[in-house]
């Protein structure tokens, strides 16, 4: 059928009023089952796709939401997008995924433009956009519903979904200590992510509890990508006294450390243990497979989408993390007591 079929064509074929078709499209409760079935059959026959602009003008919803993100890890974002998409698909809602640069001074205007042009019904913000003040102010000014994944600031602003990053990093550091490591390098995440500071806090808290001195030279800045992991790996392994274990704030950076160690012929994990964070597919495909923190990325995204669709009062959901033990961590060859 022609792509130019419109709501009047559907009404004529179904033998109902145009207003009735509009009610079906907007999931109006006062439409009989038989009428709804006839209208839906007519839409399928005509291959009718409702005009989003027309529905917006009539005050109806667009049945679209947007995920806005700025993250350098493709593995992480794949899980986030999949979690949002599957929940949207179950509800018959279209998902738009829009990358932005939180360091761009025009980011607030870019988000305003996205909302104005697409008329999305709501927004999901992924870290670090979730704490980007220009974006938050733009969405508040436009009165657009939004839910944040792992916010680090202003928790009372909107509904949110998160995990305890500090405790997760504490758990991993404690695991490395319990295995026998005392000299543990730590790679921070990108400075724009609030979780980076939380994970460093957890790392330091675990050291303090074990009576191990915090050494600033054993902490380096990363960017949540492979290249910053390789740079950190070279730095640590060039130290006069290299660490016996390196804990990276995500799996991409941990993979970069593994690459440097392999290139230098270092025995893994005999001479060097490496741990990551996130438990992306990358953690299972590198060698040796990474001991890592399983961050429930899919569930975080799906739950955020559910909260956005559901609406209602502000609520916060904390999801659990899990320490996953694999072959990249072992006791140091010369255990330090």
Please name the CATH architecture into which domain 7-57 falls: Orthogonal Bundle (1.10)
Please name the CATH architecture into which domain 64-163+298-319 falls: 3-Layer(aba) Sandwich (3.40)
* Secondary structure element (H or E) that encloses residue 211, with its range: none
Terminal CA-CA length for the chain: 77
Q: Does domain 165-295 sit in CATH 3.30.70.2200?
A: no
**pLDDT by 10s per residue, the chain, length 337:** 344 577 788 889 999 987 788 778 766 666 888 998 999 899 889 887 665 444 444 455 678 899 999 987 888 899 999 999 999 888 888 999 999 999 999 999 999 999 888 889 899 999 999 999 999 999 988 888 899 999 988 888 899 999 999 999 999 999 999 999 999 999 999 988 899 999 999 999 999 999 999 999 999 999 999 999 999 999 999 999 999 999 999 999 999 999 999 999 999 999 999 999 999 999 999 999 999 999 999 999 999 999 998 887 889 999 999 999 999 999 998 644 3
pTM of the model: 0.78
Residues of the chain with CATH 3.40.50.2300: 64-163+298-319, 165-295
């Amino acid at each position: 059928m022609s792509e130019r079929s419109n709501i009047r064509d559907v009404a004529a074929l179904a033998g109902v009023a145009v207003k009735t078709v509009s009610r079906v499209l907007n999931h109006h409760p006062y439409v009989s089952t038989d009428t709804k079935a006839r209208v839906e059959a007519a839409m399928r026959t005509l291959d009718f796709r409702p005009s989003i602009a027309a529905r917006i003008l009539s005050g109806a919803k667009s049945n679209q939401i947007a995920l806005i993100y700025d993250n350098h890890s493709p593995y992480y974002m794949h899980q986030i997008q999949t979690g949002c998409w599957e929940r949207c698909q179950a509800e018959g809602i279209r998902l738009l995924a829009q990358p932005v640069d939180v360091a761009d001074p025009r980011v607030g205007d870019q988000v305003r433009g996205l909302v104005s042009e697409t008329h999305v019904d709501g927004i999901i913000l992924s870290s670090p956009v979730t704490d980007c003040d220009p974006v938050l102010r733009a969405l508040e000014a436009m009165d657009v519903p939004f839910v944040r994944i792992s916010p680090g600031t202003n928790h009372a602003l909107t509904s949110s979904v998160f995990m305890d990053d500090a405790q997760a990093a504490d758990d991993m550091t404690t695991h490395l200590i319990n295995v026998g490591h005392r000299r543990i390098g730590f790679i921070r995440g990108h400075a724009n992510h609030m979780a980076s500071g939380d994970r460093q806090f957890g790392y330091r808290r675990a050291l303090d509890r074990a009576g191990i001195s915090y050494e600033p030279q054993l902490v380096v800045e990363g960017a949540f990508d492979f290249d910053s992991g390789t740079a950190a790996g070279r730095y640590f392994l060039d130290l006069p006294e290299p660490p016996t274990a390196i804990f990276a704030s995500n799996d991409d950076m941990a993979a970069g450390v593994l690459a440097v160690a392999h290139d230098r012929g270092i025995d893994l994990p005999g001479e060097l243990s490496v741990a990551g964070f996130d438990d992306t597919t990358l953690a299972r495909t590198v060698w040796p497979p990474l001991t890592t923190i399983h961050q429930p990325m899919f569930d975080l995204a799906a739950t955020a989408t559910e909260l956005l669709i559901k609406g209602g009062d502000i609520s916060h959901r904390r999801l659990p993390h899990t320490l996953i033990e694999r072959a990249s961590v072992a006791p140091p060859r010369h255990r330090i007591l």
